[in-house]
Amino acid sequence: MKAKLRSIENLGSRKARRSQEAVANKSTLIDASVQEALDLQQAGQQTEAEARFTEILESQPKNPVVLYSLAAIKQNRGDGAEALELINRCLAVAPQFQQAHQAREVILKAQRSATTATARGNLDALPTGSMSADPRVSMALQLQGQGRSGEARELFGAVLEKEPKDFVCLYSLCIIAMQDRNPQQALLYIERAIDALPSYPAGHFARGTVLQAVGLYEEALKSFDEALRLKADYVEALNNKANLLHTLHRHHEALVCLEQATRLDPNDDKALGNLGYILTEYKKNALAAEYFSKVLDINPYYDYAQGLRAYALLHCCDWTNYDAHRDAIRQGIVEGRRVCNPLAFMALSDEPPEQLLCAQIFAQHRFPADPQPVWQGKIYRHRKLRVAYVSPDFREHPVGHALCGVLEQHDRSRIELFGLSLGIDDQGALRKRYKQVFDHFIDARELRTAELAQWVHHMEIEVLIDLAGYTSGSRLDLFAMRPAPIQVSYLGFPGTLGARYMDYILADKVVIPEENRPYYQEQVVWLPHAYFPADNTIAIAASTPSRADCGLPDEGFVFCSFNHDYKINPSVFATWMRLLRAVPGSVLWLMKLNDDAQSHLLREAEAAGVSA
C-alpha cells in the first residue's frame, strides 16, 4: 500500500489548520483564493483543489501553504517525486513549518522503499570492485535517495573529475537527468557508463529507457535485447520491451515478452497489467479481465486497473458485480484517484461532474501540459487561416466516413487545410479522397511527437483540431506541447478532455446541453445546426436487402442497436426487454462483435423472459 500523508491529507483538521495558520499569520498567505482551494481539499474534491492550487502557484510561487497542500495531493495520489520537490520548495521559504518537515520524512520514507530501492538494487548487483571507494559516492547516493538531486549531482560531478569512468556516478547522473526531463543529457551519461562497464545489464536497460523517451525506438529495442542477453531473467527489461513493441503495433511480440515476464515472476503487477491491456487489443476481453483482477489482488492501487477490468467485462456484456465495480470506480474518481480512463468511464457514469474529474485526473497524469510550450505567443498574419486536422482515421472508419464531405465544403478562399494522419494507410478510396481534400496531407505515423510539434510550429498552424480524444491512435501529447495558438477538440471524443491546453470543443446543444457547459474544461462552441457531420456524396444503395437476407422475421417491429457491446448495461438492456415483452412479435437486432457478449446477452434475455 502506498504511503499517505495523514496530517497533510486531512488539511481540514484543527491541528493541520493551526499549523498552516502559524505560518500564514506571519505573511498573510491565506487569501480568498487559497482559502477556496483549501476548502475544496477539505471537502475531498482533490482534483479541483489541485487545479486551483496549481493556478495560484503561478502567481504565488513561494507560498508555503500552497506548496505544502499541493505536495499532499501529489503524494496521496502516488506522485512522490513531485511531492518531494514541492515540500522542499515549501521548506526553503518556510523552514519553521514543522508539519512540512514531518511530511518530508513521510515522503522520503516512501521513496526509499520504492524508486530509490530500484536504483539501489541495480547498483547492488554491480560486479565486485566496480564501485568507487570515494566516500563522496555514498554521500551522493544518500542525497539522491532523499530527493536532493542538485546536491547529489554536484558530488557525482566532483567524483567524475577524478574518476571519469566511474559507472555509479554516470548511471546516477543519467537517472537524475531523466527526472529533470533532460533525456539528451541522460543519454550522454549512460553512453559513458556503458563504455565504462559494458557487461552490466542495468546500463543497457537504462539506455533503452532513455532512447524510448526520445523516440529512437529501434535503438531502444537493441538496448533492451542487450540487457536481456546479459541477464535473461530481467523482468523489468521484458516489461519495457513489451511496452515499446506495443507502441510499434507489434502486439504478438509484446505478448511473448510479457508471457515470459509473468513466468519469471507471476506476481509482477506491471507485466500482468500490460498483458491484460494487450489482450484487449486482441479482443480477448474475458481473459484480459482475469489478468486485471490478478493485478488488483496484488496491487489494489494499480493505475486504472479497476476501470480496465470493468471495461473488459462490459465488452463481454458480463455484468457480474457490475454495480459494485461501477460504484467503486465512481467513488475513486470523486476521491481523485487513478481508477479509470475517460473512455471507459463514459460507459460507467452519466454524471458530467464525474466525467470532468475523470478526464482531469487522466490528463494531468498521462498528458500533462509541457512546462515549455512550443508556441510562445507569436501572432500569425497569413492571407488564409491555417487549419490542421489531426486524426488516426483518415481512412475506412466511422470518423473517416463522417468528416470528408464537410472538409470538401470548407471555404478554400479563406482557409488553408492541413491533414496530419496518425493511422495506417489502408490504400482505400476514402484515403485517396482525403489526400485530395487537404492542401497539405502529412503521413505522421513515424514522426516523433516533438518533431511533429515543431513541424506544426514551423508551418505556423493557427488552429489545430484533434479528432480522436482518448480513443485509439490519438496523440494528445502533441497538444500537450501547445504547438498552435488555438487547439480544438471535435468529433472523435464528445466528452471533455480535461486538459488546460485544449481551448475549445465543438458541439451542439444536444451533445452538450447548456446546463452541462460548466463541466467541460474547454470553452464550448455550439455549431448552429447539428454536431455530427454527414457526407452528402454518399449514394443510397440501389437495392434494399430483404428481412430474410438479414436473418429477420417477415413480420413484426424491429428494434435496432448497432452500438459497441460495452455501451450496453443492465439498466438499458432491462428496458429493451420490457419493450420486447410489451410489443408482440417484435425483435431486437444487435451487432455481433464477439461470442462472449452474445452468450451473455442471450442468457440475460432468457432470464428476463424473452426467447432468442
pLDDT in tens, 528-554: 988 899 888 888 889 999 999 999 999
Report which of 184, 183, 187, 182 is spatially closest to residue 170, judged by C-alpha positions. Answer: 187
Q: Between residues 75 and 229, which one has the greater pLDDT?
A: 229
Return the C-alpha cell found at 205. Answer: 536497460
- pLDDT tens-digit series, residues 382-399: 999 999 999 999 999 999
Q: What is the pLDDT of residues 187-245, one digit of tens each?
A: 999 999 999 999 999 999 999 999 998 889 999 999 999 999 999 999 999 999 999 99
Task: State the CATH number of the domain containing residue 235.
Answer: 1.25.40.10
Least confident of 28-42, 216-230, 248-262: 28-42
Q: Domain range holding 516?
A: 385-526
Q: How far apart are CA 61 and CA 71, in angstroms?
A: 13
Beta strands in 427-502, from DSSP E residues, in sequence order = 440-443, 463-466, 486-489
Best CA proximity match to 353, nearest among 517, 514, 513: 517
Q: For 417, which DSSP code?
A: E
DSSP H helical ranges for 6-114:
6-9, 14-24, 32-42, 46-59, 64-76, 80-93, 98-112
User: What confidence score (pLDDT) does residue 41 get?
Assistant: 85
Q: Are residues 506 and 465 in the same domain?
A: yes
Asked if the structure places residue 129 within a domain, the reply is: no
Identity (one letter) of the amino acid at 380? Y
184, 261: one domain: yes
Q: Which pLDDT score, from 0 to 100, does residue 124 have?
A: 59
Residue 263 located in a structural domain: yes
Torsion, CA 163, CA 164, CA 166, CA 172, rounded to 10: 120
Residues 275 and 356 in one domain: yes
Instruction: Using the predicted structure, report yes or no on whether residue 5 has a pLDDT greater than 90.
Output: no
pLDDT at position 104: 78
What's the grid cell of residue 333? 474518481
Q: Which long-range contacts (CB under 8 A, 24 or more apart) does 504-511 make?
A: 506/531, 507/531
Which is nearest to 556 in space by CA: 579, 523, 524?
579
CB contact at 8 A, 395 and 429: no
Q: What is 310-351 written as a DSSP string? A: HHHHHHTT--TTHHHHHHHHHHHHHTT-----HHHHTTT---
Label residue 351 exposed, middle or buried (CB < 10 Å: 0-12, 13-18, 19+): middle
Residue 111 pLDDT: 58
- pLDDT of 22 > 50? The answer is no
One-letter amino acid for residue 79 of the chain? D
Does residue 256 contact residue 272 with C-beta atoms inside 8 Å? no
Give yes or no: residues 225 and 278 share one domain: yes
Q: What is the mean pLDDT of the chain?
A: 89
Q: Cell numbers 495506417 correspond to what residue?
A: 424
User: Which pLDDT value is given to residue 463?
Assistant: 99
- In angstroms, the CA 381 to CA 171 distance is 48
Share of the chain above pLDDT 70, in %: 91
C-alpha pair distances (Å), 116 with each of 105, 192, 237, 379: 14, 22, 18, 46
State how many domains the chain has: 4
Predicted confidence at residue 29, as pLDDT, reads 64
Q: Which residues lie across from 489 on neighbouring strands?
A: 466, 505
Q: Are both 101 and 166 inside the same structural domain?
A: no
362 and 445 within one domain: no
CA distances, 20 to each of 24, 39, 41, 91, 267 (Å) = 6, 13, 14, 13, 42
Residues 155 and 255 in one domain: yes
pLDDT at 3: 46
Residue 37 lies in a domain: yes
User: Is 117 part of any domain?
Assistant: no
- For residues 222 and 245, the answer to whether their CB atoms sit within 8 Å is no
Quick one: 183 and 304 in the same domain?
yes
d(CA 90, CA 86): 6
What CATH number corresponds to the domain at position 431? 3.40.50.11380
The secondary structure element, H or E, covering residue 195 is helix 183-196
pLDDT at 125: 64
Residue range 110-168, pLDDT digits in tens? 655 454 445 555 665 676 556 667 889 889 988 888 778 889 999 999 999 999 999 99
Could you tell me if residue 380 is inside a domain? no
Contacts of 528 (CB under 8 A, 6+ apart): none
Q: Is 27 inside a domain boundary?
A: yes
Cβ contact 498:363 at 8 Å = yes
**Residue 379 falls within a domain, yes or no?**
no
262, pLDDT greater than 70: yes
Contact 559, 579 (CB under 8 A): yes
3 state DSSP class of 2: coil
User: Is residue 147 within 8 Å of residue 175, measured between CB atoms?
Assistant: no
Q: Helices 135-145 and 149-162, interaxial angle, to 10°? A: 160
Work out the pLDDT band at 413, boundaries 50, 70, 90.
very high
Asked whether residue 514 falls in the same domain as residue 564, the answer is no
Q: Convert the pLDDT of each residue in 342-401 to its tens digit.
A: 999 999 999 999 999 999 999 989 999 988 999 999 999 999 999 999 999 999 999 999
In contact, 101 and 91? CB cutoff 8 Å: yes
What's the pLDDT tens digit per position in 94-117?
Answer: 877 777 877 877 776 665 545 444
More confident residue, 128 or 474: 474
> Looking at the structure, do residues 221 and 182 belong to the same domain, yes or no?
yes
Per-residue pLDDT band for 28 (boundaries 50, 70, 90) equals: low
One-letter amino acid at 344 equals A
Write down the pTM of the prediction: 0.79
Domain boundary among 492, 526, 560: 526
| Residue 227 resides in a domain | yes
Residue where a domain terminates, one of 112, 127, 153: 112
Question: Does 245 lie in the same domain as 107?
Answer: no
d(CA 601, CA 604): 5
Buried b (16+ CB within 10 A) or exposed e, 533-568: bebeeeeeeeeeeeeeeeeeeeeeeeeeeeeebbeb
Compare 45 and 515 and report the one with higher pLDDT.
Answer: 515
Alpha-carbon span 497 to 360, nearest angstrom:
7
Burial class (CB in 10 A: 0-12, 13-18, 19+), 595: exposed
Task: Give strand pairing partners of 416.
Answer: 386
pLDDT score for 119? 53
pLDDT at residue 512 in the model = 96
Cα R_g (the chain), whole angstroms: 27
**Which DSSP helix (H) or strand (E) runs through 421?**
strand 415-421
Nearest to 78 by CA among 8, 5, 146: 5
Give the span between the Cα atoms of 369 and 119, in whole angstroms.
28
DSSP 3-state percent helix, strand, coil across the chain (nearest 5)? 55, 5, 35
Distances (CA, A) of 72 to 10, 47, 85, 98, 362: 9, 12, 11, 15, 18
Same domain, 203 and 255: yes
CA separation for the pair 557, 545 (Å, rounded):
17
Candidates 460, 509, 522, 469; CA nearest to 491 is 469
